[in-house]
Amino acid sequence: MATAAPVRTDRYADDPRWALISPDPYPLLIGGSLRQAADGATFNAVSPRDDRAIARIALAGPTDVAAAVRGARDAADGDWGRTTGRQRAKLLEQIATVIETHADELAFLEAVDAGKPIASVHYSDISISLDALRFFAGRAQAIAGRAATMPDSSVIHHEYLEPLGVVAEILPWNGPLWTGVQRMAAILAAGNAAIMKPAQMASLSFMRLAQLLAELDMPPGTISVVAGPGPVVGEALVGDPGVDMISFTGGVEAGTRILELAASQVKRVSLELGGKNPNIVCDDANLDGAVFWSKLGAFGNTGQICVCGSRILVQRGVYDEFVERLSAEGAAMRVGDPLDDDTELGPVISSGHASKVWEYIGVGKGEGRLVTGGERYADAERSISTFIPPTVFADVSPECRIMREEIFGPVVALQPFDTLPEALQIANDTSYGLASGLFTSNLDRAAYLSRGLKAGQVYVNQWFSPGVLEAPSHGYKQSGFGGVGMEKYMQAKNVFTRIGEPS
Ligand code: NDP
């Protein structure tokens, strides 16, 4: 049994918000009740801002997973599975109210545990979570099948969209609260029972949410939350025949493992994986806009977003100016304590992940021209490895590792191009195809490039999609597959009814 050492938060006594963190291990939510792991095991939530343990969390094992699946199965096959869309919408509205009421606490936990700047957690993660709950509350009440005209006029067709049953959602660490809430909202709206597995590196906000959810009036097992390592908890969920679908967001390696395991049961899987997303800046682009959005695209959430624009292709006529301006903007970004309201970029998720990013920076120094960043901070507050400055490498050729491999940190690689076909060829020369972007003031160029780019999302003269709910997508190639939005959690059933002549 792994048991984490008790956590001392008294060292932060000067900030009253630390008192929000429970001294007791955050429990699992199984079968409608909060409980510690069957064997009493716990693990520490470690803050990337100082690499210290800040809370303990119950560490689920196979026994806990089996109990969670049984509880979810009962809910899906019982009362929750029989709810109407209106009833499900009501639950989603209640969850939204709970999150709104506890927004300050959840934002604090997300900031200290995942290293996300607290101001951005409020205006981004919390609001996306609320938007998702209310959006899917609406969708739950408007589920529609279709009716096709049959070749035999004596037969009437109609299609039902039904819940799958039990859906296990394996969450990433780069946006634990909003990704978790958004996916949970869609799973529930579709009428499924949800088993949520947050990533160990960033579980705290979701474990606190689990405590709040346990107080809501819903059939036991409607929502379960089990934290613990992917190879144990995640794989137990994949292997349990009581789980009808696995939905996963994370890296290619874990995604591949899940596919292999799920294959033996022909279990439904959806994968949202990574990207090495190209950003094409043409010589006729509005450079102010291109620099602004490219900075956000490359460095947003410290580069830890699957749709970050981590390689930028710039047409030769504006290449030098763009490199200079993007580097200056990157260097001016405020990197610091996620609890500071002025911080724009926090630390990366963990010292382990930081090692990987620093290794890539070392590789980049041999592959391209370092223009800004690339060195550890000298001041005391940011001396630990998780604080990484926005780093720009110019003159990187397409075959270089930093141009091809997903770094998932604040590191961007640039190279010049001459013609649009050349830009497209380089942009599409990747095993990924999640997102892409382009900047031009010429409509013909925008159409040519956006049609040619092999990516699920194409941003034109901006970066990031404002409508992930309204216009969901997944990527090409190794960026994943398995459906989008609420429909991916549903099963279509076609009913064919023969009608006779009236007697
Ligand atoms: P992982 O892919 O390992 O982790 C994502 C989730 O999967 C976590 O909840 C993890 O659990 C779980 N998991 C890990 N292994 C298994 C398994 N064998 N079976 C079931 N679940 C599993 O992410 P990493 O932290 O390793 O990151 C690797 C890379 O993935 C990143 O560098 C980045 O390139 C990419 N990534 C992409 C994301 C995206 O949004 N598309 C998000 C995060 C990462 P636990 O961590 O608790 O062990």
Say if residue 65 is in the same domain as residue 172. Answer: yes
Q: What is the CATH number of the domain that holds 407?
A: 3.40.309.10
List active site positions.
Answer: 272, 306
Mean residue pLDDT of the chain comes to 96
Summarize the confidence of residues 30-41 as an average pLDDT.
98
Question: Residue of the nearest CA to atom 40 in ligand 1?
Answer: 306
- Higher pLDDT pick, 337 / 474: 337
* Pocket (CB within 6 angstroms of ligand 1): 170-174, 197, 199-201, 229-231, 234-235, 249-251, 254, 257-258, 272-274, 306, 406, 408
Q: What is the pLDDT of residues 53-85, one digit of tens each?
A: 999 999 999 999 999 999 999 999 999 999 999
Say if residue 102 is in the same domain as residue 192. Answer: yes
Say if residue 42 is in the same domain as residue 104. Answer: yes
Summarize the confidence of residues 305-312 as an average pLDDT.
98
Instruction: Assign 3 a pLDDT band (cuts: 50, 70, 90).
Output: confident
Say if residue 207 is in the same domain as residue 282. Answer: no
For ligand 1, pick from 259, 408, 477 the residue to mutate: most ligand atoms within 8 Å of CB.
408
Q: What is the pLDDT of residues 249-304, one digit of tens each?
A: 999 999 999 999 999 999 999 999 999 999 999 999 999 999 999 999 999 999 99
Say if residue 348 is in the same domain as residue 445. Answer: yes
Is position 293 within any domain?
Answer: yes
Q: What radius of gyration do the chain's Cα atoms show?
A: 24
For ligand 1, pick from 116, 225, 253, 401 the residue to mutate: most ligand atoms within 8 Å of CB.
253
Give the residues across from 481 on adjacent strands. 271
Question: Residue of the nearest CA to atom 4 in ligand 1?
Answer: 250
Say if residue 256 is in the same domain as residue 356. Answer: no
Q: Are the CB atoms for 143 and 85 separated by under 8 Å?
A: yes
Is position 391 within any domain?
Answer: yes
Instruction: Please count the helices (runs of H) and the strands (runs of E) in the chain.
Output: 15, 19
Say if residue 326 is in the same domain as residue 269. Answer: no
Dist. CA 255 → ligand 1 center (Å): 8
Q: What is the pLDDT of residues 136-194, one digit of tens each?
A: 999 999 999 999 999 999 999 999 999 999 999 999 999 999 999 999 999 999 999 99
Where a domain ends, among 273, 292, 316?
273
The whole-angstrom distance between residue 476's C-alpha and the CA centroid of its chain comes to 17
Length of the chain as a residue count: 503
Say if residue 244 is in the same domain as residue 122. Answer: yes
Residue 6, pLDDT > 80, answer no
Dist. CA 171 → ligand 1 center (Å): 8
Integer Cα distance of 392 and 406 in angstroms? 15
Instruction: Assign 9 a pLDDT band (cuts: 50, 70, 90).
Output: low
- Higher pLDDT pick, 469 / 14: 469
At a CB cut-off of 8 Å and minimum separation 6, what does 310 contact? Answer: 275, 276, 277, 298, 303, 406, 407, 411, 412, 413
Domain of 335 in residue numbering reads as: 278-466
Is position 501 within any domain?
Answer: no
Is position 132 within any domain?
Answer: yes
Nearest partner of 311 among 399, 443, 421, 442, judged by Cα: 399
Q: What pLDDT does residue 503 have?
A: 84
Is position 66 within any domain?
Answer: yes
pTM assigned to the model: 0.97
Is position 426 within any domain?
Answer: yes
Dist. CA 94 → ligand 1 center (Å): 30
Say if residue 175 is in the same domain as residue 301. Answer: no
Is position 3 within any domain?
Answer: no
Integer Cα distance of 39 and 237 in angstroms? 18
How many domains does the chain fold into? 2
Q: What pLDDT does residue 8 have?
A: 61
Dist. CA 362 → ligand 1 center (Å): 23
Integer Cα distance of 107 and 197 in angstroms? 19
Dist. CA 128 → ligand 1 center (Å): 22
In one-letter notation, the amino acid at residue 34 is L
Say if residue 69 is in the same domain as residue 209. Answer: yes
Say if residue 295 is in the same domain as residue 365. Answer: yes
Integer Cα distance of 201 and 304 in angstroms? 13
Say if residue 378 is in the same domain as residue 249. Answer: no
Q: What is the CATH number of the domain that holds 65?
A: 3.40.605.10
Give the residues across from 335 on adjacent strands. 345
Where a domain ends, among 273, 301, 323?
273
Q: What pLDDT does residue 466 have?
A: 85
Q: What pLDDT does residue 257 have?
A: 98
Is position 12 within any domain?
Answer: no
Question: Residue of the nearest CA to atom 44 in ligand 1?
Answer: 250
Give backbone dihedrals phi and psi of 94, rounded to 5 degrees, phi first: -65, -40
Q: What is the pLDDT of residues 88-122, one digit of tens each?
A: 999 999 999 999 999 999 999 999 999 999 999 99
Q: What is the pLDDT of residues 221-242, one digit of tens each?
A: 999 999 999 999 999 999 999 9
For ligand 1, pick from 249, 261, 355, 402 the residue to mutate: most ligand atoms within 8 Å of CB.
249
Q: What pLDDT does residue 501 have?
A: 87
Dist. CA 173 → ligand 1 center (Å): 7
The whole-angstrom distance between residue 357's C-alpha and the CA centroid of its chain comes to 19
Residue 10, pLDDT > 70, answer no
At a CB cut-off of 8 Å and minimum separation 6, what does 66 contact? Answer: 236, 240
Q: What pLDDT does residue 314 have?
A: 99
